[in-house]
Chains A and B, each alone.
Chain A
């Protein structure tokens, strides 16, 4: 069993009208089976309302399944005695950087998680230092988070999670509110964590460029897992992705269109370099 495993995970929420009467039941996540290996970089794709955030919140035991089970490192999220262990092992980074920074100074915010866990003072400082260094924000440790850019704030949030020494990090659209530069900064930091520290990463996003380096990609649609495979496999299926209202990277699309017109290019080209290389073969 991998670090994160779900078995027929289903989550329903009840929609109510203004008087509180039940209007209907929406199934946000529908019988999802996942098995994520320790150390993997996983990307979950999907357009708005496809259930990817709801799925993410289950891994951190913020939401509990209506049916099915979620295990994090072998612990069932529905068992209350494991709650705090699960939240420590599966850290979560949210979309809006302003709404998840609690401290008034960068280092205080990073220390918030370890403080809650009851880590001794001296070790908190060690953890804060190493996690700020891991995301390249150490020189900003005395700054106020309000004065940082979006990308920097998000890196602080990531540091705040790493300081809890999690085995995996779930990032719920961490780049959705950032500019292209901030987006690159954050993704670079996340990849470094995965490569250097071996932390399992679950990246939820709708930016295609960010998933190129993932080991495994899951595409969600209406609560189901619609596609799964390596990035190359996923991007070979351009038409299916379009049906799910997802964009593919421009260069992949270009190669796909050229192929349709009879140019002999392989499917699933992911980067510009690769494309150039293939073109030079002619």
Chain B
């Protein structure tokens, strides 16, 4: 169950989307998320869905990988839907005991569900087609100007890329510790929420200790390989825009303009 989170897992494939400059993908994902909140009509959502579907098709990533990422947020999704469904004032549609489902509530609930799932699928698409390293490269580059405000851009980017690299390793480790604890009679499944949370303590303590140990080892390995911060550093894969990236920006602009137009005129 714990291995199902695809966020931060790169899917290797040879596609147009994979080859795009990570900056394009980062900006596109941001624009896509904003566009989801710009549009508020069904036409807009259909446009977003079509855009997303085309991108997924182009990326050659099997759809089930995106759905895998969705599983993790099913709970959040349900809460949003339920709250919106019952707590929005307006025309009553169905009344069951004390709860009333309103027309507006239904509309907002469905919209929120669509928005959230598109949001997750959209950002999964980015992380599935971009190696976290190039993603952080993109962030480092896009936020470059902040350096003049004494923001440690390179350091933050490096930390992020390392954190991303260790997600699968720590997940695996969690799984291992969990199994070891279950084998010795620990119970993670039964009981109420508080009991379950308490059961996590024997899981978290060894996990933290091991994470610190790994961090220590990694820092040493990085130093041994001459790491000394961002200065004097060259890039193996420097970011450069190509023709495809310009086309992608144009497509993105068109899509975004379309979304705004739908909002304004429909």
Chain A interfacial positions (CB closer than 8 Å to B): 57, 60, 62, 84, 87-88, 91-92, 94, 96, 98-105, 107-108, 111-121, 124-125, 128, 142-144, 146, 160-161, 164
In the bound assembly, the distance between CA atoms of A94 and B135 in angstroms comes to 28
A94 near B234 with CB under 8 A, answer no
Min CB distance A12 to B, Å, is 19
In the bound assembly, the distance between CA atoms of A62 and B220 in angstroms comes to 7
Q: Which 5 A-B pairs have the closest CB atoms?
A: A100-B221, A111-B236, A99-B217, A116-B226, A92-B224
Q: Mark B224-241, 1 if CB is under 8 A from A, else 0.
A: 111110001111111000
Number of A-B pairs, beta carbon distance below 8 Å = 100
Q: Taking A102-B165, A108-B237 as given, write out 11 further A-B residue pairs in contact, using a Cβ cutoff of 8 Å, ordered by the A residue number.
A: A87-B224, A98-B214, A99-B218, A104-B10, A104-B131, A104-B133, A112-B227, A113-B225, A114-B234, A121-B238, A164-B226
Q: Assess whether B168 is interfacial by the CB under 8 Å rule.
A: yes
15 contacting pairs across A/B (C-beta < 8 A): A60-B224, A84-B226, A91-B224, A92-B221, A96-B214, A100-B218, A101-B165, A103-B133, A105-B131, A105-B133, A108-B133, A115-B235, A119-B234, A121-B238, A124-B234
Residues of A contacting B: mostly: helix
Q: Assess whether B47 is interfacial by the CB under 8 Å rule.
A: no
A125 near B164 with CB under 8 A, answer no
A-side contacts of B227, CB under 8 Å: 112, 116
Contact partner of A146 (CB less than 8 A), chosen from B133, B169, B234, B238, is B169
B-side contacts of A146, CB under 8 Å: 168-169
Contact partner of A96 (CB less than 8 A), chosen from B164, B217, B222, B234, is B217
B-side contacts of A111, CB under 8 Å: 236-237
A-side contacts of B162, CB under 8 Å: 102
Q: Specify the chain B residue showing the minimal Cβ separation from A99.
A: B217
Min CB distance B222 to A, Å, is 6
Interface residues of B, count at CB 8 A: 30
B214 near A99 with CB under 8 A, answer yes
Contact partner of B224 (CB less than 8 A), chosen from A62, A143, A144, is A62
Chain A CB count within 10 A is highest, among B12, B161, B162, B237, for B237
B-side contacts of A143, CB under 8 Å: 12
B-side contacts of A125, CB under 8 Å: 236
Min CB distance B172 to A, Å, is 8
A113 near B226 with CB under 8 A, answer yes
Chain A CB count within 10 A is highest, among B10, B169, B221, B232, for B221
- For chain B residues 83-142, which have a beta carbon within 8 Å of chain A? 131-133
